[in-house]
Amino acid sequence: MNQRVSTAQSQPVKELSYIDKKVIKNEKLSAIWLTISKLALEHDYQRAYETALTQSDDIYLLRLILQTGPVLSKGLTDVTGKRVLQRLNRIVRGGIFYKIQIEWLDESRKCDIFRNLNKNEQNEYMDTLYQFANPNSELVKKELKERAGEIYHIIRNQAKQQYY
């Protein structure tokens, strides 16, 4: 009786780097999105939206909404339609897009990218900040209004100093 005994020693498990962990996570996220997108492309909107709504990351729902447009009349149940509307309302009222815009404009100011924009672009972004800072606006949260106002005044003052 000839028995072989494995002589392989167990290797220590190598710890994944931060980047490796992020790549693995992104691959999983990409697989989820591919599933959702495929369902939508097949016009299985109910399953696509159900899958997107079960994800904790709102990006799936936002991407799906952009891909399909409104599809309440194309096979979504009333319950799913209500859940989409509720979640979309929460996202919009949460002010994340205002916050992102303000952060990017502030960073562009700090890096002098804003100064290199043409006057039309500068005016457009200044108008955006001005609108966000409007005290009568009920859409933008108070702390974001204040931050938008601060950035607006900083940029305006920098522009005045540049021309005087």
pLDDT single digits (tens) 67-109: 999 999 998 999 999 999 999 999 988 888 999 999 999 999 9
- Average pLDDT of the residues in 123-136: 91
Cα end-to-end span (Å), the chain: 98
Please give the DSSP secondary-structure letter assigned to residue 55.
S
Q: Who contacts 37 (Cβ-Cβ below 8 Å, separation ≥6)? A: 48, 63, 64, 67
Judge whether residue 148 has pLDDT over 60: yes
**113: its two tokens:** 């990218």
* Cβ(114)–Cβ(84) below 8 Å: no
* Cβ(146)–Cβ(134) below 8 Å: no
Query: Would you say the C-alpha torsion 43, 49, 50, 55 has a positive or negative sign?
Result: positive
The predicted structure's pLDDT at residue 164: 45
Q: Phi and psi dihedrals of 74, rounded to 5?
A: -115, 35
CA dist., res. 70 & res. 52, Å (int):
15
pTM for this structure? Answer: 0.70
Q: What pLDDT, in 10s, does the model give residues 2-20?
A: 555 555 566 667 788 888 8
Domain coordinates in residue numbering, the chain? 18-93, 96-163
CA dist., res. 141 & res. 104, Å (int):
17
